[in-house]
Structure 1
Amino acid sequence: MVDTPYDDGPVAALRRIAFLLERAREDTYKVKAYRAAVATILPLGEEELRAHADAGTLTSLPGIGSSTASVIADALAGVLPERLARAEQEHGDRGVTGGETVRAALRGDLHSHSDWSDGGSPIEEMAFTAIELGHEYLVLTDHSPRLKVARGLSAERLARQLDVVEAVNGHLAGSGFTLLKGIEVDILDDGSLDQSDEMLERLDVRVASVHSKLGMDKAAMTRRMVAATEHPRMNVLGHCTGRLVTGSRGTRGQSQFDARAVFEACAANDVAVEINSRPERRDPPTALIELARDIGCLFSIDSDAHAPGQLDLLAHGCARAEAAGIEIDRIVNTWPEARLLAWANP
């Protein structure tokens, strides 16, 4: 068997494996080793890394196991790592067709999570991957306080995160990319939003979602969601039905609400309806996307990424938007940053 040449280096090989596993929504434990290995070898010079490879001591480095050591050694030798080749074979296809025109028009993503809440990677890794995918902007939308299971951010933690976002943007100045300040804020039982108005005003974009009492009575859920759309700082209604149609978390039926009343409220209050790109959600269902289209709603096609590779899930939402005949200009994340921010902060 002839070895396939590979000249991108060990960091690129490890990051690509992690990216592909994340995009395929593999269990986090299968990905962590590759991200941890990147963090270990990044500070090392090539000479030191090669010395370890030549001596067979790569596994003496923190966080380097036999699998990641093999990837590093092969990449240093200029040979395609077997684990990378297997990941490309198993997960190299996005698993979706259609939507290419919509995907090409997208400038960014309004819904993403970092390890500050229930995401798996640091803020800067999410930003770097967004840049590699061609984004002009990414909105960081970690969870709000009520969602304790997802380590939702208190006002104090959110304020600290905003300083980190500023620092990341300082490092990326001149790159043509902006990490925007955001939140996925819980819609509380009475339709209020789970963060102070002062903090919401400091953000660029706000996604508001229902995460609790998904089985609420239809009339009460309708009142709850309509009230949320009337909040002057709400921009995007996230995964509106809360359903799960497949995946490791099992399935979950959709919340019951008067969709016409909710989408009419979205249209009246200039709130975009999210087309959530996660394949396990497919939220809203097709009939509701078409209803929101006919009512005249704006849309946002978002990845709801909890890991860098999941930022590439946008293709799934784009295919659904194209199939529903959503006009490009009604998708807010096809807009330039200045227009997006003017809409989100009138």
Structure 2
Amino acid sequence: MQAFRTAATVVAGLDDAELDRRVRTRTLTELKGVGEKTAAVVTEAHRGELPAYLQRLEESHAELAPLADDAAALRAALKGDLHAHSDWSDGGSPIREMAEAAISIGHEYLALTDHSPRLTVANGLTPERLERQLDVVAALNEELAPFRILTGIECDVLADGALDQTEELLGRLDVVVASVHSELRAPRAQMTERMLAAVANPHTDVLGHCTGRLVIGRKQRNGTQRPRPESDFDAEAVFRACVDHGTAVEINSRPERLDPPRRLLTRAAELGCDFAIDTDAHAPGQLDWQDFGCTRAVECGITADRVVNTRSAADLLAQL
């Protein structure tokens, strides 16, 4: 793919006469960055023909067209996003900008789920700061109606499975996403009990990025990027608990997470879980990442009726 991008840049720098001459004399490959395959594509396209290379691609991937259509339909059915951050924690934009971006892509609501206090590296919200945020959200909701910012938190799951915020505040929030962020290499039994406790908590609405994996590693101090493996836990037990307690399994759409992996996503669907297709957005443009989650959901046989954020805000809150 990079070869075609490079060739396109080179060819775009030619005027019409020079391109005509190069095609006629078959000298495109003399240009730096244009090889035999890319030259053939340029030549055929210049003649107004469908390049043979593109035709072969279309034929070999024809079976994916229905999948893309189903993913687009699922994306169109989504009415909101249940996992997003602002500059109150580790996001890069004010709450208003995140809300206005959600409005611009057709959402009816956006759950504001900044981090909880224990995650100091992400500027997690103390109870006092969360109280202030609730007042800010209430004022913005008056201005932005009928759009609604759902009050929420991405609550760190502590080592014993407890949620990292006061009971009183958790009870006042619209959406609680419970996520494990620490001790990700804990033994299987320990991690399983921790997650089961979080899922069973009556305040938990969504189990966030359940394996904690990173398929694209974040940059280390030495400049390297190391992927992070999945946490080891009894997925069958955790997903069954999600069904029993009405906790949605998050399909985290961030490109570096894409969590859970397809095999676990498929198993969660087989066990009867509901899902939330979320972006975990930390900037306005990242709200578009729901497309990735929708594609993965369709690949794993998950339909719109199993996705909680296809529902209106009123119906969603009634369920939660």
Q: Distance in 2 between matches of 1:226 and 1:312?
A: 31
Q: Does 1:242 find its partner at 2:212? A: yes
2:128 counterpart residue number = 156
Alignment correspondent of 2:118: 146
* Residue 288 (structure 2) pairs with residue 312 (structure 1): yes
SS of residue in 2 equivalent to 1:119: coil
CA contact (8 A) 2:217 2:228 kept: no
How far apart, CA to CA, are the structure 1 residues paired with 2:249 and 2:183? 20
What secondary structure sits across from 1:246 in the alignment?
strand
Could you tell me how far apart the structure 2 residues matched to 1:151 and 1:278 are?
20
Counterpart residue number, 2:5: none
Q: Cα offset for 1:248?
A: 4.1
Pairing partner for 2:190 from 186, 198, 220: 220
The residue that corresponds to 2:152 in the other structure is: 182
After TM superposition, the score normalised by the length of structure 1 is: 0.70
2:261 maps to which of 272, 285, 288 = 285
Q: Residue 120 in 1 paired to residue 92 in 2?
A: yes
Deviation string 1:108-128 (CA, Å, 9 cap, x unpaired) is: 000000000000000000000
State whether residues 208 and 249 of structure 2, in contact with CA within 8 Å, keep that contact through their aligned partners in structure 1: yes
Instruction: For residue 206 of structure 1, give the secondary structure of its aligned residue in structure 2.
Output: strand
Instruction: Give the Cα separation in 1 of the matches to 2:188 and 2:286.
Output: 32
Offset, 1:325? 1.1
Could you list the runs of 5+ residues in structure 2 that have no partner in the other structure? 1-66, 220-224
- Aligned residue in 1 for 2:139: 167
- The SS at the match of 1:265 is helix
Q: TM-score, normalised by structure 2?
A: 0.76
1-structure distance, mates of 2:285, 2:144: 20
Measure how far apart 1:97 and its partner are: 5.2
Equivalences, count: 247
2 CA distance for matches of 1:246 and 1:209?
A: 19
- SS for the counterpart of 1:245 is strand
Corresponding residue of 1:338: 314
In angstroms, what is the RMSD of aligned CA positions?
1.1
- Look up the match of 1:257: 233
Q: Which residue of 1 aligns with 2:166?
A: 196
C-alpha displacement at 1:321, in angstroms? 0.4
Residue 267 of structure 1 corresponds to: 243
Query: What CA deviation, in whole Å up to 9, does each residue of 1:276-332 have, x standing for no partner?
Result: 001110100000000100000000000000000001100000000011110211100
Q: Which residue of 2 aligns with 1:136?
A: 108
* C-alpha distance in structure 2 between counterparts of 1:320 and 1:127, whole Å: 25
Preserved CA contact (<8 Å) 2:252 2:279:
yes
- Cα displacement (A) at 1:170: 1.2
Shift of 1:231: 0.6
> 1:87 aligns to what?
none
Q: Name the structure 1 match of 2:200.
A: 230
Which of 110, 118, 121 is equivalent to 2:82? 110
Q: 2:153–2:177: 8 Å Cα contact kept in structure 1?
A: yes
1:211-262 CA distance string (max 9 Å, x none): 0000000000000000111111100000000000015443100100000000
Structure with greater strand percent = 2
Residue of structure 2 in register with 1:324 after alignment: 300
Determine helix, strand or coil for the equivalent of 2:209. Answer: coil
SS of 1:124 mapped into structure 2: helix
Q: Which amino acid aligns with 2:266?
A: E
Q: Percent identity?
A: 62
Q: Secondary structure at the residue paired with 2:291?
A: helix
Task: Name the SS for the 1:188 alignment partner.
Answer: coil
- Larger Rg computed on CA atoms: 2
- Deviation (angstroms), 1:104: 0.6
| CA distance in structure 2 between the aligned counterparts of 1:195 and 1:226, rounded to whole angstroms | 18
